[in-house]
Amino acid sequence: MTHADPEHLHWPFFDDGHRAYAREIAAWCARELPQVERGEGGHADTDEAAHTLVQRLVPALGRAGLLRACVAAEHGGARDAIDVRTLAIARETLARASGLADFALAMQGLGSVPVSLFGNAAQQRALLPAVARGEVITAFALSEPEAGSDAAAMQATAVRSGDGWVLNGTKTWISNAGIADSFVVFARSGEASGAKGISAFIVRAGTPGLDASVRIPVIAPHPLGTVRLTDCRVGPEALLGEAGQGFRIAMGTLDLFRTTVGAAALGFARRALDEAVARAKARRMFGRTLAEYQLTQARLGEMATLIDASALLIYRSAWTRDVLGKRVTREASMAKMYATEAAQQVIDGAVQLFGGLGVVRGNTVERLYREIRALRIYEGASEVLQLVIGGKVLEGP
C-alpha cells in the first residue's frame, strides 16, 4: 500500500539513487510510521492532535535520514543540489501512507528551499543542516488576508532601521505557524511598486513582535495559522538575497514546490485507487462483485489513466528542472493543476464505490476526500495556474 508504483520508478526520468531513496522511504512508511502515529491512522482528527503529530513526525523523519530530500549534499542532503524528483518521490510515497507525514516533510522543504536557493553561506549553515536532521521546523509566510492569488498585492511592510529592518503586517494561511522555529517572511520593502518592491527575510520564532499563536482549524487538520508582525525588528543578516528580490524568491520556490504538490495529490490518488480496487473485489451486489460490473471497470480504468497522466506530468516537470536546469513555470503549473484536479476525481470515484461507508468518519477514502481539497487551492489555485499556463502558451516557445 505504501510503495511508490514500482513500474513508474523504471521510467527514464529516474536514476538508481532515486530508486534507492524510494525503497528507503517506502520501508520507513511500512515499519516506522505506525509507531510515530501511535495508532492515529495516518491522520489526526483534531487541530491539537495534528499539531502534536507533526511535532513528532519532523524529528522522526530527520532521524531516519529522509529529510535529506530537503537540502543539498553540502548541508547533509541526499543530492548535490535540491532535486525535485527526490522531493516528489518522497511526497508521493508519504502521502499514500499519511497526509500529515507528507505535510511534515513538505514544509521542511518549503520553509527552507528559499534559503537553499537564495541564502548566503552563513544563512545556509545556520539553518539547513538542522532542517535535514529534523531539529528545526520551518514555515513560508507569503499570503495575506488581501493577497492570496495576487501575491504581489501584499501589504506587510519592511522598513530599514539602522542596519536592520522593522516588519509590520499580517500573514495568513501559514502552514506550521504555531510550531515553526524559523519563518521565511515576505514584505513590501518599497524599492519599486508591485512585484519589484518585495523582500524576503528569515525570522526566528520568539523574535519580539512576531506572534504566530492564532490557529486556523481546517477540514483536514494540520498546523495552520496567522502570523502577526508588530514592529518586529530583525538584523541585516535576516535579509534573504537582495532587497527587492522577494517576489522572484517566492516564485522560484513555488516553481519547485508546485510539482511536488502534484506528487502529494498523486500519492492520495494512488491510495484511493488501492482502496477502490479492494472494495470492488470484495463487495457483492445483486449476486456479483462490484468488480464484475462494466460500470465499475470503466470507472477504475478512468481513475488509473488519470493517475498515470498525473505521474507523467509531475516527473516530466521534475526532470526538466533537475536535468535541463530550466525555469519550469509552465511544466510545474501543469503538473500541479492537473494532478490535484485528477486526484479529486479519483478520490470522489473511490468514495462513490464505497457507497455509504465512503462518507463515514474514519474511513480512508473519507479522509482522502477531505485531505485532497486544499491542494487545489494552496500554492497556486487551479484557476491561477490556468492563467499562468495560458500566458506561457501565448508567449510562445
Chain residues binding ligand COS by CB under 6 A are 140, 142-143, 148-152, 195, 247-248, 251-252, 254-255, 327, 329, 378-380, 384, 388
Which is closer to ligand COS, CB of 192 or CB of 359?
192
CA dist 296 to 207, 264, 275, 306, 354, Å?
Answer: 56, 25, 13, 15, 11
Which is closer to ligand COS, CB of 25 or CB of 313?
313
- d(CA 226, CA 374) in angstroms, rounded, equals 17
As measured in angstroms, the least distance from the Cβ of 288 to ligand COS is 46
- d(CA 354, CA 338) in angstroms, rounded, equals 25
As measured in angstroms, the least distance from the Cβ of 293 to ligand COS is 41
Whether 383 is catalytic: no
Which is closer to ligand COS, CB of 58 or CB of 184?
184
Which is closer to ligand COS, CB of 10 or CB of 327?
327
- d(CA 61, CA 104) in angstroms, rounded, equals 8
Which is closer to ligand COS, CB of 88 or CB of 147?
147
Which is closer to ligand COS, CB of 223 or CB of 252?
252
- d(CA 233, CA 150) in angstroms, rounded, equals 26
Which is closer to ligand COS, CB of 195 or CB of 218?
195
Q: For residue 138, which of 110, 170, 114 has the smallest C-alpha distance? A: 110
> Is residue 209 within 8 Å of 230, Cβ to Cβ?
yes
- d(CA 181, CA 111) in angstroms, rounded, equals 10
Cell numbers linked to 354: 464505497
Which is closer to ligand COS, CB of 283 or CB of 316?
316
As measured in angstroms, the least distance from the Cβ of 140 to ligand COS is 6
As measured in angstroms, the least distance from the Cβ of 113 to ligand COS is 12
Choosing from 37, 275, 366, 379, which is the catalytic residue? Answer: 379
- d(CA 111, CA 183) in angstroms, rounded, equals 7
Sign of the torsion angle spanned by Cα atoms 31, 33, 35, 36: positive
Cell numbers linked to 270: 494512488
As measured in angstroms, the least distance from the Cβ of 151 to ligand COS is 4
As measured in angstroms, the least distance from the Cβ of 379 to ligand COS is 5
As measured in angstroms, the least distance from the Cβ of 249 to ligand COS is 8
- d(CA 345, CA 335) in angstroms, rounded, equals 15
Ramachandran angles phi, psi of 98, nearest 5°: -160, 120
> Is residue 197 within 8 Å of 155, Cβ to Cβ?
no
Active-site amino acid positions: 379
